[in-house]
Structure 1
C-alpha cells in the first residue's frame, strides 16, 4: 500500500523495503492470531467475535505505535501487564524496539490495513475460520502413497483410499480396522496390537506437540534468530566481484601403462 514505506523507521530505501515486507508478514500474523483467539474465547459466536474485534482493531493500531493500553483491555494476544511480553517483543519478524510514529496519517494507514482482515466484510466471509491445511495434508499423504514417478494401473484406487483412511483414523488404528475388514483381525494384547497402539499414541502426541504453545514459541524465536542472522550477514552487504576461489585446471591424465602391456610390447620388439 502506498504511504506505508515512508513511515517505516529506517534510513535507507532498501532498509525501508525490507522492513515493510516483514511488517506485512507481522501484521497478517497479528490479525489472524487475534481472530483465532477470539474464535476460541467466544465459542464460535460470530456476533460476539465481531463486537470484540471492532475494539481490537484500534488496539492493534495503537500497539504498533507503542501504546499498549488498548491491548490490555481488548487484545487477546498482546498485553503489558503481569510481566508478559507484548506482541512486538515476541514477534518473529520485527525487532523488539519497533515502533511507528504517532500521527493521524500513520493511524489511518494502519487502520486500513487491519480492516483488510478484521473488517466486517472479511469476518462474514471467514466466519467458520477454516483453512486448506487438512486438504494439503491429505494431498501429501496421497502423493506419498501414489508417487507421480510410478504408475499403479491395478491398485491405484485402493492405494488412494488407504491413504485417506490413514489420515482420518491415524496409522495404528487404520491398520487395525483394515485388517478386521479383510477378515484377518489383530488379536488384542498381541505383540502386533501393542506395536500399533504405540504408533498411534506417538502420532497423536506428535500432533498435540505441534499445536502446543511451547512449540509455537520455539518456532517463533527460531525464526526471529534467523532474521537476525540474515541482517548481520546479508547478501547485498557482503557481495564482491571475483570473490569465488579460482578453479585450478588439472593437467590431462596420461594413459597408464600396466606391467602386462609392457611385457607384450617387449616380446613384440624381440620377435622383430
Structure 2
C-alpha cells in the first residue's frame, strides 16, 4: 500500500500480499496525524471552534491543519492542575518555609493543597459569576493574594471577603497538610507561589479554561477500550470487532449488548433463564454503583477516607537506607574546596 502512494519500499521476504500502510519508522502514537485525519472526516458535518487537550499533546496541531488555525486551544483542568502540582514540587522555595520530619512529603502535600484550592476557586468563581471572563480576571487578582495569605497562616478577613471557597476558618489551607506543620513564607516564597498559582488563575489561564472543559470522558472511553484491546497485545484480526463491541456495550449497557450479540450469532437466550437473571443482576449492580458514586454522600465519604489515610501517614517515620553504609569523602583532596558530595 505504501508503494501505491509512490513511496519506495522494500517489503520483508514473507508470503502473501503486504498490507503495511505506514512505514516502520513512523510513530503509532502520532496524535497530530490521527486528529488531522479525523478532522477531515467530520469537516463536512462539524466545524470545530475550540479544542480541549492536555498541554503536551500534539492533537491541536492536527485539528488546526484540518479546520484552520483559528481553532482555539483550551486546557484540560485536570492536566493543568497536575502541572501546577509538579511545578510546586520543584519550585525554589526557601529552606525554612516547610518544616517537618519528611520535608519531601510535606512539600508534596502542600502542592496538593494549593492545587485543590486553585481548582476549587476557579470552579466556584465561574459558577458565581456565570463564566464572565472579564469579571473573573478582575476578581482573581484579589483571590490569588488571598490564597497566599491563607496558606501563610493569615486566614480570616481576606478569605471571608474575597474567597469563594474559604470562609476564613483556616480549613481550606489544611486540606492535605498536617495540623502540626506551619508554613512560614518570606517575600521570595510568596512571589514564587504567586507565579505558580497564575498557571491556573492567571489571565492567560482563564482564557484557556473559559469553558471549564476536560478530557475525562475521552480518557474514560480510552480506558474502557483498553479492557478489550490492551496495548500489550496486538489483535490484528479482530481489533475492530472488539472496539465496536465495547462501544455498543458502553452505549446500551452490559445486558442489552450481550443479548444483542447472542441474537446475531443465532444463540438466543431463553427468557427467564439463569443467564438472563445473572445479566440483569450485573447490569443493575453496575448502574447502582455509577449512581451511588456520584452522590454527595459518597463524595463526602471518599473525602473523609482520604483525610483519615493522610493522618495515618503523619504517624509514619520512614527513611530510606537508614542502616546502609555511606561513602566517606572527607579524605579526598580534590573535594576540600569543592563540596560535591
TM-score, normalised by the number of residues in structure 1: 0.65
Quick one: distance in 1 between partners of 2:242 and 2:287? 23
Quick one: distance in 2 between partners of 1:42 and 1:208? 29
1:75 Cα deviation (Å)? 2.3
Counterpart among 60, 73, 93 of residue 161 in structure 2: 73
Query: CA deviation digits over 1:74-103, x for unaligned, max 9?
Result: 32332246xxx72134xx520135443365
More divergent stretch after superposition (24-33 vs 233-242):
233-242
Counterpart residue number, 2:173? 88
Quick one: distance in 1 between partners of 2:123 and 2:143? 13
Query: CA deviation digits over 1:89-144, x for unaligned, max 9?
Result: 4xx52013544336544433332221121101112122222333222211221121
Counterpart residue number, 1:46? 133
Q: 1:46 to 1:194 in 2, by over 3 A?
A: farther
Counterpart residue number, 1:10? 99
More divergent stretch after superposition (30-39 vs 176-185):
176-185
Q: Is the 8 A contact 1:172 1:197 kept in 2?
A: yes
Counterpart residue number, 2:207? 124
Higher helix share: 1
Counterpart residue number, 1:22? 109
1:15 Cα deviation (Å)? 3.5
Q: 1:22 to 1:207 in 2, by over 3 A?
A: same
Q: 1:149 to 1:103 in 2, by over 3 A?
A: closer
- Mapped pair 1:31 → 2:118: yes
Counterpart among 223, 232, 245 of residue 140 in structure 1: 223
Report the RMSD for the aligned CA atoms in angstroms.
3.9
Matched length: 235
Q: Is the 8 A contact 1:72 1:80 kept in 2?
A: yes
List gaps (5 residues or longer) in structure 1: 243-272
1:33 Cα deviation (Å)? 2.0
Quick one: distance in 1 between partners of 2:248 and 2:316? 47
Counterpart residue number, 2:247? 164
Query: CA deviation digits over 1:238-259, x for unaligned, max 9?
Result: 94469xxxxxxxxxxxxxxxxx
Quick one: distance in 1 between partners of 2:265 and 2:124? 44
Quick one: distance in 2 between partners of 1:149 and 1:75? 47
Q: 1:211 to 1:44 in 2, by over 3 A?
A: farther
Query: CA deviation digits over 1:171-199, x for unaligned, max 9?
Result: 35655777899999999999988876665
SS of residue in 2 equivalent to 1:236 = coil
Q: Is the 8 A contact 2:118 2:201 kept in 1?
A: yes
Quick one: distance in 2 between partners of 1:197 and 1:235? 48
More divergent stretch after superposition (180-189 vs 118-127):
180-189
More divergent stretch after superposition (104-113 vs 184-193):
184-193
Quick one: distance in 1 between partners of 2:168 and 2:181? 15
SS of residue in 2 equivalent to 1:100 = coil
More divergent stretch after superposition (221-230 vs 71-80):
221-230
Indicate the structure (1 or 2) with the bigger Cα radius of gyration.
1
SS of residue in 1 equivalent to 2:172 = coil
Q: Is the 8 A contact 1:88 1:96 kept in 2?
A: no
Quick one: distance in 2 between partners of 1:191 and 1:87? 52
